[in-house]
Structure 1
Amino acid sequence: MPKIDAESPTDDQAQQDLKSAKSLMKAGQIATALQELDDLLAKSPDHPDGLYMAAVCLRYLGRSDEAAHKLVRLKEVAPDFARAFQEEGHLLRAVQRPEEALKAYERACRLNPALIASWKAQADLFEQLGRLGPARQARGQAEKLMALPKELLDASLLLHEGKPLKAEALCRAFLQAHPHHIDAMRLLAAIGVRMGVLEDADFLLESALVFAPDQIDIRLDYIEVLRKRQKYEAARDQARLLYEKDPNNPVFLSHYAIESLQLGDYDLALDLFDRVLAILPMIPPPSPLAVMP
């Protein structure tokens, strides 16, 4: 994940140049946009956004080798820049290298689970390769993201790009207008965890469960926050609720075991872990698909 200090102030002129180049790209003036980006990179050769946008322009112009060169440099200066791997996936897909493209898209989604284009591309490639289970998962994740309000999608992108303060401002503004929006509450809690504000995350997730008590992903998030706050008994109580809902679910068993271990209930924890090991060989290996917080 990008470090929080990636949100340090940037040069105003560079931001203006990027904004101008983006407008030109949207207008279809790719060559002109590339010229502006080249001017920016002449002054700041390792500017991550400049390298990324230049690579996109070069791909649009059919200059794939040059685009790939930009991406190599981008990954050197910003190894966790998710869109670099997404763009690499686009290049590999264009030259009919689907397995390598899939790896690039999967890496992009691990770094930033809010990249709709990477999820869609994975779904298409999995379908072409006849891997329909992973295709459905990827398509479902893309559809879930597309169903989010734009403000929340933008906030999620910002969070995973290492800009939690901007993500927080956007998410809080949305939540003020929609105070009981479950996805907004969960996302703001995730931002709080990233920024170390665990008390706020605890309150948000506890409140979200009041409105959506059967939403499993919220309860799993809540267990993690309770553990981070060393509220081990409360975490085990939440884990037990999931376990009682489905005693054969290996995820629920694992959480119940971990929380029992934290409280020193070793016999129960070991028994639960043994049950997980007995179940896991019976289910297929997990997909590397990521889930948006």
Structure 2
Amino acid sequence: MIDIESELRQGIERQQAGDMAQAVGHYKAVLSAEPNNVDALNLMSVVASSLGDFNTAASLAYTAIAEQGDWFLSHLNFGNALMGLGRPAEAVDAYQKAVTLNPQSPEAYVNLSDALVQSNRPAEAADMAVQAIIIKPEMADAHVNFGNALLALDSPGEAVEAYIRASMIDPENALAWMNLGNAYIKLGVIDPAVDAYRRAIALSDGPIKRLNLGSALYGAGRLAEAAQAYRDCLALDPKFLDAHINLGAVLRDMGALDEAEATVRAALALAPDEPELHWNLALVLLTKGDYSQGWQEYEWRWQTPHFARFVREFHQPEWQGEPLEGRSILIHAEQGYGDALEMARYIPLLFDKGAAVTLECRQGLGRLFSTLHPDLTVIEVGDGPLPRCDFHLPMMSLPLAFGTTLETIPAKVPYLSVPKGAASFADLADRPGPRIGAVWSGSAGRRDNQPRSFRPHDLMDLVDAPIYSLQKGDVAATASDLFDHGLMVDLGPRLEDFADTAAAIAAMDLIITADTAVAHLAGALGKPVWILLPYPSSAFLWMSQRTDTPWYPTARLFRQTSPGDWSGVIAEVHQALAPGLLA
């Protein structure tokens, strides 16, 4: 006859010492004598969960519940096992039963909060975390879970407060530091996020922490440090695809194109059908000017999460270079205005092949694109049904369909012109020159707009004449003081669409612009255009290090040498204008 109490006590001692095998031996001895001993079943469930055997843990806890359904600890353990099995919705039910049976258990409320967050019920999760805090204010995990719920409720500022409180209670709580970093990222506060991730890593290293650190550093423009963080992540988990994807991207931005390509290709050996890797490879190859492979890889975009939501279904087949004589084709809009302006050069080539062409474009481009060819049918998105054609093709697939290489880019300009009925800028002809048109910011909705934008004030003193603003949108107001003092002339209110903008560009001697649609429009019109590029530049079109582009013969590129530093770029522009180029 064994001593049940003694066996349980010894099992608990061995479990607390980390000797799980010996602990299990004691619990099994108890269960051999009393198969339905609830204490042994629960303790065995805890051991099984700690070892990652959640199926066994769930079975043991469920047996304990069947034996004594009013014991809250059995429901708590059952919920923990279900969470380990990735079944949070079921875990919620188990934890709610535990809370009902023991309303004073902070652990039950904390675990219920976690399950509710993972079940996409953050408001309830916040309430449960608060209950745990009321019962046990110095419970760090309760504050962590409160922060998690707040973060899920899109309240990152309040989440930061919760995580800071947790880290003050328990400075060695790695999860508090990790999630604090996540909250800072959501607030757009990068440097504190980096510090928080480093604290979390120092306490408990792991691939996810290294990945998040790398992403924070990447967002701060600290590319070399980001690359190292991703390498450290891969040292911990060589098969972590997100780290491979991000490392390839940051190496491309650093201009280490050969290393970026090698990194992505090595990752593709592990996951040959991963769309994000193919997408990264496309960007690397296109940036290198390897168009023969790059445009093929670019077709993987439709399988990435970002582009998959834009996939459209057409009854007609996608054109892949078949003869078009006497046949019809629909070219349809995708991506941004600049992409459309760049790819519009291919439309006349379709007519050269004998096709009847319909072009769908974004609102504001229709009048301008009517100048591509007299027989072109142009339909702006949302302005009516699209005709049935023999073929269709998204605009950014045109280079592949035409077999475009770096040497065969159709770069003859102008391929666009100012349409009849566009705004007139004849009143500018009598004004003293040179006439320089400027755009300093693109669409505010683009996530990379801030680093690619500069200040309108940076352009002052370039010439002894007012500069003409072609800037549209709310950002034009950043130059309001320049407008008031006559240092810049605001043409924005006169620009209803891209046809009007084309007319304004035609009245200029030079366009100076950020990487925006106006850069493409000026290039397509054959107007001298100086394009100021950030470091790193995410646009593969501009390639790497070049001061020219094979896409626009009249364009000149001015590049940052470090993130956020426009001073060197502006100085280079000053120097380029100094000889009186436009006098």
Q: Report which of the two has the higher share of strand.
A: 2
**Which TM-score bucket, shorter chain as reference?**
0.3 to 0.5
The structure, 1 or 2, with the larger RCO (C-alpha pairs under 8 Å, 6+ apart) is 1
Larger radius of gyration: 2
In proportion to residue count, which structure has more helix?
1
